[in-house]
Amino acid sequence: MSDVKPPALLPSIFKMRCPNCRKGHMFTHKSIFPLSHMLDMPERCEVCGQKMELEVGFYYGTGYVSYGLSVALLGAVFVAYWIIFGLSYKDYSIFYALGAAIAIVLLLQPWLMRISRVLYLYGFVKYGKGSRMVSEE
């Protein structure tokens, strides 16, 4: 039995590491810039060999994850604006809150798209259960 503790789950998710080994990078570019290469991923993890795209069209489901994260972020920004500045239907404050929430979601959209891919893959690949430098099948 090994006494080595696995890397923590949440830091591995936010650092966008491989779900199988939690060491390899999931994206070829660590930065979201240039935006045209923001979602480029290696075919396999450079550490453990885990496939990053489990099947053709695998990441189409991340649209739902990204949508959920965007709605949650919109709600959180709206509530924070309400608590800090207050909202009223008698003035334009609700439109300012909506504008601020939309601006924040649009600015964070590249990060949300990446983190949704990470969360989606983490939902299907468990730590230490994936491939270990296997050959192509």
Q: What is the pLDDT along the chain (137 residues), one digit of tens a residue?
A: 566 788 899 999 999 999 999 999 999 998 888 888 999 999 999 999 999 999 999 999 999 999 999 999 999 998 999 899 888 878 888 888 889 999 999 999 999 999 999 999 999 999 987 655 444 44
With beta carbons less than 8 A apart as the criterion, state whether 33 and 40 touch: no
Q: Give the residue from 59, 64, 52 showing the smallest Cα distance to 19.
A: 52
Pair of tokens at residue 121: 């893959």
b/e 55-66 (16+ beta carbons within 10 angstroms → b): eeeebeebeebb
What are the phi and psi torsion angles at 17 (to 5°)? -100, 165
Q: Where are the beta strands (DSSP E) in 36-77?
A: none
* Single-letter code of the amino acid located at 89: Y
